[in-house]
Amino acid sequence: MRLPYERLRAELLSWFAQAGRQLPWRETRDPYRVWTAEVILQQTQIAQAEGYLGRFWGAFPTLEALARAPREAVLALWQGLGYYQRAHNLHRAAQVLLDMGGIPLSPWPEALATLQKVPGIGPYTARAILAFAGEAPLLPVDGNLVRVLSRLWGDATPATERKAYQAKADALPPAFTGRAVGFALMDLAQLVCKPRRPTCPACPLRSACQAYQQGQSEAFPVKAARAPRPTRFFRLLVYYTAEAVWLAERPAKGLWGGLWTPPLEELSEPPFRPADLRHEFTHFRMLAFAERLSEPPPHTQPIPWAELHRYGLPAPIRRYLTQLHTYFLKNFL
């Protein structure tokens, strides 16, 4: 369906000038900062991401600083953000980009193809870098923009079909792409075109929005059936003294890749007692049952309690060990 995109752009940007959010990472056109902000903002609440971004840029102010940093330093700073594969990919991508001479921005079609070959930089992130740092006529489509575009077009393509929405966005006229439109649509998704109870009368796109015209805003985008999330069970092998706790660095790929934890063994079924640690991942629920050992498990090393903050630990493991150490000090020393 052909829509009056130039008029919609004007109405959208007029609304954005009055209602848009002031976010610190939008003040830069530095491709390094745009890229790292986009990665950290994935799967992270804005309020949480803002503090992390300040610390991240303070520790790694440039592409070269990130590429040259030890991986352990990156993982240690990443604690609490979750999805640790992002940190691995970010560090590796920085090394690749530095070897390439920096983050390419132009000509944008070639830069788009190049960026998508870099570890961890997918279709959305590549377009975000080019649109927000390089003013390329692109519209990066995330889950929020899927919702806005689905409603605007009255498109019944399921929300899970992100590639289909991105392909349609790539065919939009230049007037409805780029940095300003991208930021405005993101804010529209957060402030007006919300998943539930969207405030359609306040929307600058309502005159052309097909879902609104049909009185079916909340029917879009169509949701695909979601498989139930399984529960997985683990044994947590714990050995500690008053001075240290014995941990192992996990393999780079997989669960909590590259982070430090007590050894984990997956169980086929749980013991008949409450779990000592529970954590919700995107694709499964973890229940872990601690087993205190009488001697250090193989392939572990003692980490002094006082030095634990220097190591990259998953947030739930850090919380568990902190509680364990507090209990030990209170009851046995």
User: pLDDT-derived band of residue 139, with 50, 70 and 90 as boundaries?
Assistant: very high
C-alpha span between 248 and 299 (Å, rounded): 7
- Is 282 a residue whose pLDDT tops 80? yes
CATH code for position 133:
1.10.340.30
pTM of the model: 0.79
Q: Per-residue pLDDT tens for 236-268? A: 999 999 999 999 999 988 899 889 999 999 999
Residues 145 and 282 in one domain: no
226, part of any domain: no
- Whether residue 86 sits in one domain with residue 53: yes
Asked, for residue 224, whether it belongs to a domain, the answer is no
Residues 62 and 130 in one domain: yes
Same domain for 157 and 63?
yes
Q: Tell me the sheet residues that pair with 267.
A: 233
Task: Count the neighbouring beta carbons within 10 Å of the beta carbon of residue 280.
Answer: 11
The pLDDT tens digits of the residues spanning 84-96 come to 888 889 999 999 9
Q: Identify whether the C-beta of residue 126 lies closer than 8 Å to the C-beta of residue 104.
A: no
Residues 54, 115 share a domain: yes
- 267, with CB counted inside 10 A (0-12, 13-18, 19+), is middle
Q: Which of 189, 219, 249 is the last residue of a domain?
A: 219
Q: Can you tell me the distance from the alpha carbon of 137 to that of 300, in angstroms, rounded to the nearest whole number?
A: 51
> What's the rounded Cα separation, in Å, for the pair 35 and 179?
14
Rounded CA separation 103/95 (Å): 11
Question: Integer distance in angstroms from the first to the last C-alpha of the chain?
Answer: 73
pLDDT at residue 44 greater than cutoff 80:
no
* Residue 281 within any structural domain of the chain: yes
Q: What span, in angstroms and rounded, lies between the C-alpha atoms of 299 and 318?
A: 20
Catalytic site residue from 6, 11, 27, 38: 38
Can you give the residue range of the structural domain that contains 97? 5-219
Indicate whether 333 pLDDT > 70.
Answer: no
- Our count of domains for the chain comes to 2
Catalytic site includes residue 38: yes
Does the residue 180 lie in any domain? yes
Same domain, 124 and 185: yes
Beta pairing class for 285-292 and 231-238: parallel
Task: Looking at the structure, tell me whether residues 312 and 255 fall in a common domain.
Answer: yes
